[in-house]
Structure 1
Amino acid sequence: MTAYAIAHLRPGDPHDDIVTYMETIQATMEPFGGRFAVHGATHRTLEGNWPGAVVVVAFPDMGRAAAWYESDAYQEILPLRTRHMDGDVILVEGVPDGYDAQVTASATRSRMLARRV
């Protein structure tokens, strides 16, 4: 099942290290099947506060997403970004094909009703 690395990166001052990070990150993702789904795109904040940028990288599964993040190649370039730009990064599993939120809601409602009895 597809997994995603999602980053919320806060604006920082332009720096050569950030450019080097951007120039080299793709090569660290490729061995793990990673590809940018969102990068440098305009976003519109609908709720809350979201200063900065969102980056989404898709991987074939959670194992490969974690292996990429923990890889020597990525860990080597990671400080190029973290020294100059604050951010939050998560790995999250996607939903399977055919996912239906109504089915999940129905199961949740059933569990809630069972607790009331």
Structure 2
Amino acid sequence: MTAYAIARLQDVTMGPEIVEYLEKIDATLTPYGGRYLIHGGNTEVLEGSWQGDTIMLGFPSLEQARAWYRSEAYRRILPLRTANAVGDVILVGGVEKGHRGIDILG
């Protein structure tokens, strides 16, 4: 089942380290089937407050998403982001095609 890595980043310092991170991250995604679904873009807040940039990566499975995040290749570049941005990052499993809201009750 598909899975997603979702980040909400704030206070990003756009400098050489973030540029290097952006130049190298794509190569870390490829072995795990990861791809960008959202990368910044315009956000329309409908409820509550939402600040920062939203990034969402899609993976074929939660196992592959975890393996990417824990991979040596990604761990090498991760400090380039964490030293230059504040934010939250989560992994979440998707749902089967045809899932309905009421399905969580069963």
Superposed, 1:97-108 pairs within 5 Å as: 97-105=97-105, 107=106
TM-score, length basis structure 1 = 0.86
Q: Kindly state the Cα deviation for residue 11 of structure 1 after the two structures are TM-superposed.
A: 2.6
> How many angstroms apart in 2 are the aligned matches of 1:19 and 1:101?
40
> How many angstroms apart in 1 are the aligned matches of 2:65 and 2:20?
22
Q: Kindly state the Cα deviation for residue 48 of structure 1 after the two structures are TM-superposed.
A: 1.8
The aligned residue for residue 73 of structure 1 is 73
Superposed, 1:40-55 pairs within 5 Å as: 40-55=40-55
Please state which structure has a larger fraction of its residues in strand: 2
Q: Which amino acid aligns with 2:82?
A: T
Which contiguous aligned blocks of 4+ residues in structure 1 show a shift greater than 4 angstroms? none
> How many angstroms apart in 2 are the aligned matches of 1:12 and 1:41?
15
Q: Which amino acid aligns with 1:64?
A: Q
> How many angstroms apart in 2 are the aligned matches of 1:31 and 1:86?
27
> How many angstroms apart in 2 are the aligned matches of 1:64 and 1:57?
12
Q: Which amino acid aligns with 1:54?
A: T
The aligned residue for residue 11 of structure 1 is 11
Structure 2 gaps of 5+ residues are: none
Q: Which amino acid aligns with 2:104?
A: T
The aligned residue for residue 85 of structure 1 is 85
Cα RMSD (Å) of the superposition?
1.1
- Aligned residues of 1:38 and 1:56 also touching (Cα < 8 A): yes
> How many angstroms apart in 1 are the aligned matches of 2:27 and 2:55?
16
Larger radius of gyration: 1
Q: Kindly state the Cα deviation for residue 77 of structure 1 after the two structures are TM-superposed.
A: 0.2
TM-score, length basis structure 2 = 0.94
**Residue 27 in 1 paired to residue 23 in 2?**
no
Any idea what the Cα deviations from partners look like across 1:58-93, whole Å, max 9, x if unmatched? 000000000000000000000000001001000000
